Amino acid sequence: MFKRNRCLRGVAAIASIASISSLATGCGVLTSDTADDGKPIVVGTTSSPSTLDPAASWDSSWELFRNIYQTLLSYPVGASTPQPDAAKGCEFSDESHQVFRCELREGLKFSDGSTLDAKAVKHSVDRIRKINVNGGPAGLLGSLERVQAPSSREVVFHLSKPDATFPFVLATPALSIVSPKAYPADALREDSSIVGSGPYGLQSYDEGKEARLVRNEQYKGYAERQNSAVTIRYFQDSAEMVKSLREGGVDLTYRGLAADDVVEFQGKASKEEEIRLVEGTSTSINYLVFNPKDPWAGKKPVRQAIAQVVDRSAIAHKVYRDTVDPLYSMVPKGLTGHTTGFFDDYGDPSVDKARRILTEAGITEPVPLTLWYTTDRYGSETKLEFQELEHQLEASGLFEITLESRPWKTYVEGYQKGEYPVFGRGWSPDFPDADNFIAPFIGEQNALGTPYEAREISNVLLPRSRRQSNRGNVVKDFEDAQQILVNDARLLPLWQGRQYVASSRDISGAERALDPSTIMMMWLLSRKTSW
């Protein structure tokens, strides 16, 4: 919930879905006069896309996709459950939640003028599964058996098992609708252009530097655009981004603000500058991944010893200056089913307990491990965070740590190939439910590119929970699943973030522009003409 100029949009558990056929009313009209002078609103971020093809992405590339592609369902302002976008309406047509039907809006077209029909939707979904990129969005479609397009405006999804969360999957940018003419059925599109049907078209793209978005005049959907153009600038460094904000090079920063900058903007300096800080709750998390094929990280006692040594509170305080919160479960606070399993099992950090774990496993010499992090995805504190982890682990006398790093694009390729013994990841939810903090990380094909077989979760707990449209009834299943994650220690949660947006004072809409997965809906940004 936003602390300033706030529009109440708390993260909610999934509600019962019988029919999705009308838009949420949202939070009302803008409270100040705005105008579109044709000048692009410039947004700065440290989170650049890894790809422009939705079939290849299960990461923060979605931040761009939400604005240039269209999905059947999406999230209007104030909505915490999916509402129609390219669809006129959608519903489960059976009580078992295994057949989901959508009727498309009339007259939909892609940005190149070609028709967006049911066959295009089927093509978009089928190619995700056929191309099957390692660590890509195919992992979201585990319950999907087949897609039908019985008419030009009707799409039918047949599920292999009940799945009350499927509408939320359809609302993710992973299920962006693409043109069959422009996107091959069995290969990724390689060039730096897109053919979409979202609120904006991609006028130009300079990888890692800039994306220019202009109003898509072919668009038919729920988004009411408050501007005609947005330019997104990608920065390698938080300090460079904030400098550009202060000098007027960007109008707003989204993702990547350093903790020092947040603290400064919260204090006296922000009152002396023409900069406004909006703070919101977030269910984004940061965690470590252990590669089971590594000779050391693959040993459960090694992972448990690390879990016993790591001091999350020190990371939150020393590195992030209390702008994040320690996290003891992969399911964050604020979601139904959250637990504190790692604290319950390990308690406070203890070198003695960690040494005992290793000794009982016959490990008496310091364990050599290489920890990997990305240099340009999650902000400038990432390096400091891993230096703190290195310090904590080596100070215990139980580990010998080497740190390595890469830019995001090559970093993704590395973990998908299984090159890293231990690596850091962040996760912003595809949709606001505990399921989305468990299911993406397990199974042979998952978002990490690192296989993790957890059969009780995959075969029992998740299928049972997905039969329940009332998510309050699945707390026990999620608690059991989290305990399995704690026992295996294949994933180690570190902290839960908060969402900060800094903007010049003439920008309106920033406090309303984040959807439930904290993706920015750029069309809600505008310039003020009065105060």
Q: Which of 319, 328, 304, 486 is nearest to 398 (CA)?
A: 304
What does the DSSP assignment read for 472-489?
A: GGGHHHHHHHHHHHHHH-
Residue 271 has what pLDDT?
Answer: 59
- With residue 84 as reference, give the H or E element that holds it: strand 83-84
Q: pLDDT per residue over 485-500, tens digit each?
A: 999 999 999 999 988 9
CA torsion, ordered 235, 207, 514, 223, to nearest 10 deg: 140
pLDDT in tens, the chain (531 residues): 333 332 323 333 333 333 444 333 333 333 334 556 679 999 999 989 989 999 998 888 999 999 999 999 998 887 778 999 999 999 999 888 899 999 999 999 999 899 999 999 999 999 999 999 987 899 889 899 999 999 999 999 999 999 989 999 999 999 999 999 999 999 999 888 899 999 999 999 999 999 999 999 999 999 999 999 999 999 988 899 999 999 999 999 988 888 999 998 887 555 567 899 988 788 899 999 999 999 999 999 999 999 999 999 999 999 999 999 999 999 999 898 999 999 999 999 999 999 999 999 999 999 999 999 999 888 789 999 999 999 999 999 999 999 999 998 899 899 989 999 999 999 988 888 899 999 999 988 788 888 899 999 999 999 999 988 788 889 999 999 999 999 999 999 999 998 899 999 899 998 888 887 788 999 999 998 654
Three-point CA angle 231, 236, 239, nearest 5°: 95
Burial class (CB in 10 A: 0-12, 13-18, 19+), 150: exposed
On whether the CB atoms of residues 220 and 11 are closer than 8 A, the answer is: no
pTM of the complete model = 0.77
Residue 35 has what pLDDT?
Answer: 55
On whether the CB atoms of residues 398 and 355 are closer than 8 A, the answer is: yes
Three-point CA angle 274, 33, 531, nearest 5°: 40
Q: Tokens standing for 85?
A: 């976008």
CA-CA distance, 275 to 227, in Å (whole number)? 20
Cβ atoms < 10 Å from Cβ of 297: 24
519: Cα separation from own chain's centroid:
8
Q: Which of 315, 85, 496, 264 is nearest to 253 (CA)?
A: 264
Neighbour order of strands in the sheet with 491-496: 325-326, 491-496, 285-290, 422-427, 367-374, 399-406
CA-CA distance, 517 to 329, in Å (whole number)? 18
Which one-letter amino acid corresponds to residue 328? Y
Residue 132, classed as helix, strand or coil, is: coil
CA-CA distance, 389 to 298, in Å (whole number)? 19
- Bridge partners (DSSP) listed for residue 101: 91, 156
On whether the CB atoms of residues 203 and 212 are closer than 8 A, the answer is: yes
Burial class (CB in 10 A: 0-12, 13-18, 19+), 106: exposed
Q: How many CA atoms lie within 13 A of 219 on its CB side?
A: 23
DSSP state of 317: I
CA torsion, ordered 355, 356, 361, 366, to nearest 10 deg: 10
Q: pLDDT per residue over 285-301, tens digit each?
A: 999 999 999 999 999 99
Q: Tokens standing for 17?
A: 């879905």
- Helix-helix angle 238-247:259-266, to 10 degrees: 30
CA-CA distance, 65 to 46, in Å (whole number)? 16
On whether the CB atoms of residues 342 and 493 are closer than 8 A, the answer is: yes
Cβ partners under 8 Å of residue 337, min gap 6:
331, 434, 474, 475, 477, 478, 479, 482
CA 71 → CA 74, 77, 422, distances in Å?
A: 6, 16, 35
**What beta strand segments (E) does 183-306 contain?**
200-206, 210-215, 229-234, 252-254, 275-280, 285-290
